[in-house]
Chain A
């Protein structure tokens, strides 16, 4: 082939690529998809770097997926005037992030720790994997990774099909109706409208999910299956739990010694999952003991009349509308615990926050 013909091949490549991108983008937009952000290690590291920004004007959140869904960041920021730095990680224990912040000499701000008992009070390696990877990524982040992140942010802001979780080759291949191999653990299929993520790392359910009880039932079945799988993992021993409590206390003490404020929060769960958590992790042995050992205040949703009634569509996370209400109530509950937001610009919901 002569150079001219190779040039024609290159031109054809460009045309085909442009046509494909246009068509693919149009297809997914027509199916109701919107621009979303991959909740990657790079996005986590971007937020992790924000914990130093004006400590008097920001609050850091660590935990599991619940606080990612239940904290409505725009509501929080509008009412408190504080920036919300969301560092919670899906399906993970917050302890590695707590230790990381505790050991960070530069961090001395406000910290809210979300407690989801099966994840918090477990030392199963899968629950610590993502936190460890994200922390390591943050610590070793190179200038080029930061630059690539910015480019990726621009692209993800403009193209719907850039959705690694649901629209990448592997995600699409994963939907093929293949026979399941007996004995192989396959992570359950989460419906796409269940978990969408903003650039702030706030997760939310799409309207479609909130309205569709079949999708909700699919997620409930997923939780049931994961719950069964979790039962097969060895539970944390009494000694492990003691270590967790004391390590958490050490980290919290370090943050306090630098002028920081720390508080535990237990966000709502309902249905069989809520009941299971209540039975599997009795408050006196876990939540109450955690607060006592670490000498830290806590806000448990079940202790307040206005938050005790929340029903989670799939038992574990709040709908976007409830997340707004819950966020307003959480701010009031934090204020009752003595938290001050000096840059508060609006008043929280006026409903009283009476303890049960």
Chain B
């Protein structure tokens, strides 16, 4: 069931009503669980069996892992869980990809092997709920937290409909305790939730689907080379589209959970205002990047075993992170680019200061602070606007945004020739490409991109709710109504969210 569908609006209204009836907490949890199964079954009912299988296995394996004393047995249980979860993910998501590459390799070796094309349907949200259950069993193995007390709570933790299909990827300590005590939304939570739901739908339906998707599709589907302007506009359009689509989904999910009295973790923090790539990954798909850090990068050694091992762990994490997004080499390259950016950034970052240097730094800063600003300015050869730290950071953020856009080419292109053609067009290696974007399309992409980057920059250290609560009530009302009116006027059909395919 899509958040941007009439069915969901009716479903959600019923859920809100049920959740606020004077029923026992257990009954309300059962309602939420059944509703979550209905929500999921709306795509493809048989796949609900996979969800049950994953839930039941991990619940019991998790408990056993926590209670088991024998080290060998514990490792065996962990392997069962990993094989079960990752095996399912590999079969459904990477089965075709693995077979395709296997065939390419054996054909290259001169063996004529042409198997029938596998017809595997990807269950919605499998990448997300697999990561949710995986982190539980790994936590149980490490005894990081207590096992979930009941199968009902664990099932709800895995299946809770706001996060089920496209995150945020939740950890047990973030959500399970919330199921242990009765809760309904306070007036503030309900209003915050409805506001976030409206904002999320506005981002998805009006901006991603209505304003940007068309231009991105035209450019990425173009069979020939494009003029530089069209190529850049297409990439910027996709850059905006994927943010509004995915952040829109997360905002809806957080808003829906809030309406029911639950809190989900933040997933986006104005990523296009990031200064550098480590900052970008602290702002983009936060729950995935922290998952990868905790369950992949750190177990691979993190930064505890010297520089070489650190860079290796970083690259491996980003390559696998890329592959998580899709079973294609283009996603691996996307991950590799991010890995390279992170490595380069790490290589050139200032070394940690020694205690003596810290003292010296503190003293020199103190001296600068008392120095008249006019002297500092006249002593510098840099242009005035660059001597402002804010301006420098802004340009650093713009440079990061530029590099991020280059990576999106590989993320969105269906294959390497398309990516290559587009990159050539973007960097001017094309003579006389065929333009595809209209003046209106270029205007829409330009205006939205500028507003997007500026909004991210000015909001980079705050949150939308913090800002909304600081504004006058009538201004919030007007902005809220504006979003809903545009939502109504866009009349976009219920198109799926991009991240559902992952």
Q: CB within 8 Å of B: which residues of A?
A: 1, 3, 5-13, 16-17, 20-21, 38, 40-42, 142-145, 147-148, 151-152, 155, 161-164, 167-170, 172-174, 176, 178-186
Known: A11-B477, A20-B485, A169-B489. A3 touches B188 (CB 8 A): yes
CB distance from A231 to the nearest CB of B (A): 18
Q: Is the CB of A168 within 8 A of B489?
A: yes
CB-CB contacts below 8 Å: B468-502 with A? 468-471, 473-474, 476-478, 480-481, 484-486, 488-494
Could you name 18 residue pairs across A and B whose Cβ atoms are closer than 8 Å?
A: A3-B191, A6-B195, A8-B474, A9-B480, A16-B481, A20-B485, A41-B493, A144-B7, A145-B494, A148-B7, A148-B494, A163-B491, A167-B491, A168-B492, A169-B486, A176-B440, A179-B439, A184-B435
Q: Is the CB of A12 within 8 A of B474?
A: yes
Q: Is the CB of B473 within 8 A of A151?
A: no
Chain A residues near B2 (CB-CB < 8 A)? 144
Q: Is the CB of B477 within 8 A of A1?
A: no
CB distance from A4 to the nearest CB of B (A): 8
In the assembled complex, B111 has its CB within 8 A of some CB on chain A: no
Chain B residues near A186 (CB-CB < 8 A)? 438
Chain A residues near B8 (CB-CB < 8 A)? 144
Q: Is the CB of B481 within 8 A of A169?
A: no
The 7 closest A-B pairs by CB, nearest first: A12-B477, A16-B481, A151-B6, A9-B476, A168-B491, A144-B7, A9-B477
CB distance from A142 to the nearest CB of B (A): 6
Q: Which of A6, A7, A169 has the most CB of B within 10 A?
A: A6
Q: Is the CB of A173 within 8 A of B440?
A: yes
Q: Is the CB of A3 within 8 A of B187?
A: yes
Q: Is the CB of A148 within 8 A of B474?
A: no
The contact of B480 among A13, A145, A182, A185, by CB within 8 Å, is A13
Chain A residues near B434 (CB-CB < 8 A)? 183
Q: Cα distance A41–B480 when bound, in Å? A: 31
**Binary flags per residue of B1-39, CB closer than 8 Å to A gives 1, else 0:** 110011110100000000000000000000000000000
The contact of B191 among A10, A143, A169, by CB within 8 Å, is A10
Q: Cα distance A181–B468 when bound, in Å? A: 40
CB distance from A161 to the nearest CB of B (A): 8
Which residue of the partner chain A has the closest CB to B198?
A13
Q: Is the CB of B481 within 8 A of A143?
A: no
CB distance from A353 to the nearest CB of B (A): 43
Q: Cα distance A17–B437 when bound, in Å? A: 33
Known: A21-B488, A151-B7. A16 touches B478 (CB 8 A): yes
Q: Is the CB of B473 within 8 A of A17?
A: no
Q: Is the CB of A181 within 8 A of B438?
A: yes
Chain A residues near B442 (CB-CB < 8 A)? 181
Q: Cα distance A182–B44 when bound, in Å? A: 46
Q: Cα distance A150–B478 when bound, in Å? A: 31
Q: Is the CB of B6 within 8 A of A148?
A: yes
Q: Is the CB of A6 within 8 A of B439?
A: no
Q: Is the CB of A147 within 8 A of B478?
A: no
The contact of B477 among A13, A144, A169, A183, by CB within 8 Å, is A13
Q: CB within 8 Å of A: which residues of B?
A: 1-2, 5-8, 10, 42-44, 186-188, 191-192, 194-195, 206, 210-211, 214, 434-440, 442-444, 468-471, 473-474, 476-478, 480-481, 484-486, 488-494
Which residue of the partner chain B has the closest CB to A18?
B481
Q: Is the CB of A8 within 8 A of B438?
A: no
Q: Is the CB of B1 within 8 A of A144?
A: yes
Known: A10-B194, A144-B1, A148-B494. A178 touches B443 (CB 8 A): yes
Chain B residues near A40 (CB-CB < 8 A)? 493
Which residue of the partner chain B has the closest CB to A10?
B191
Q: Is the CB of A12 within 8 A of B6?
A: no
Chain B residues near A21 (CB-CB < 8 A)? 488
Chain A residues near B480 (CB-CB < 8 A)? 9-10, 12-13
Chain A residues near B211 (CB-CB < 8 A)? 170
Q: Is the CB of A181 within 8 A of B477?
A: no
Q: Is the CB of B7 within 8 A of A17?
A: no
Chain B residues near A162 (CB-CB < 8 A)? 491
Q: Cα distance A13–B485 when bound, in Å? A: 10
Q: Cα distance A185–B438 when bound, in Å? A: 8
CB distance from A229 to the nearest CB of B (A): 14
Q: Is the CB of A6 within 8 A of B491?
A: no
Q: Which of A11, A17, A162, A185 has the most CB of B within 10 A?
A: A17
Q: Cα distance A173–B194 when bound, in Å? A: 29
Which residue of the partner chain B has the closest CB to A173?
B440
Q: Is the CB of A6 within 8 A of B7?
A: no
Q: Is the CB of A152 within 8 A of B6?
A: yes
Chain B residues near A181 (CB-CB < 8 A)? 435, 437-439, 442
Chain B residues near A178 (CB-CB < 8 A)? 438-440, 443
Q: A5-B473, A10-B191, A184-B437 are in contact. List 10 more A-B contacts (CB 8 A).
A: A6-B469, A10-B194, A12-B474, A16-B478, A144-B7, A148-B5, A161-B489, A167-B489, A181-B438, A183-B435
Q: Cα distance A40–B481 when bound, in Å? A: 28
Which residue of the partner chain A has the closest CB to B194?
A10
Chain B residues near A7 (CB-CB < 8 A)? 187, 191
Known: A1-B469, A1-B471, A183-B434. A10 touches B210 (CB 8 A): no
Chain B residues near A170 (CB-CB < 8 A)? 210-211, 214, 490
Chain A residues near B468 (CB-CB < 8 A)? 1, 6
Which residue of the partner chain B has the closest CB to A3?
B188
Q: Cα distance A13–B486 when bound, in Å? A: 13
The contact of A8 among B6, B471, B477, by CB within 8 Å, is B477
Q: Is the CB of A184 within 8 A of B474?
A: no
Which residue of the partner chain B has the closest CB to A14?
B481
Known: A17-B484, A152-B6, A181-B435. A143 touches B42 (CB 8 A): yes
Q: Is the CB of B439 within 8 A of A1?
A: no
Which residue of the partner chain B has the closest CB to A151?
B6
Chain B residues near A145 (CB-CB < 8 A)? 5, 7, 494
Q: Cα distance A211–B152 when bound, in Å? A: 67
Chain A residues near B443 (CB-CB < 8 A)? 178
Q: Is the CB of A184 within 8 A of B477?
A: no
Q: Is the CB of B473 within 8 A of A42?
A: no
Q: Is the CB of A169 within 8 A of B439?
A: no
Q: Which of A1, A16, A144 has the most CB of B within 10 A?
A: A144
Chain A residues near B1 (CB-CB < 8 A)? 144
Q: Cα distance A10–B480 when bound, in Å? A: 8
Chain B residues near A164 (CB-CB < 8 A)? 491, 493
Which residue of the partner chain A has the closest CB to B227?
A183
Q: Cα distance A41–B469 when bound, in Å? A: 42
CB distance from B161 to the nearest CB of A (A): 13
Q: Is the CB of A1 within 8 A of B470?
A: yes
Q: Cα distance A67–B477 when bound, in Å? A: 49
Q: Is the CB of B481 within 8 A of A144?
A: no
Q: Is the CB of B481 within 8 A of A13?
A: yes
Q: Which of A9, A17, A145 has the most CB of B within 10 A?
A: A9
Chain A residues near B440 (CB-CB < 8 A)? 173-174, 176, 178
CB distance from A134 to the nearest CB of B (A): 12
The contact of B210 among A142, A144, A167, A169, by CB within 8 Å, is A169
CB distance from A243 to the nearest CB of B (A): 22
Q: Cα distance A183–B227 when bound, in Å? A: 11
Chain A residues near B194 (CB-CB < 8 A)? 10
Which residue of the partner chain A has the closest CB to B186?
A3
The contact of A169 among B5, B43, B490, by CB within 8 Å, is B490
CB distance from B48 to the nearest CB of A (A): 13
Q: Cα distance A21–B487 when bound, in Å? A: 12
CB distance from B378 to the nearest CB of A (A): 45
Q: Cα distance A181–B230 when bound, in Å? A: 11
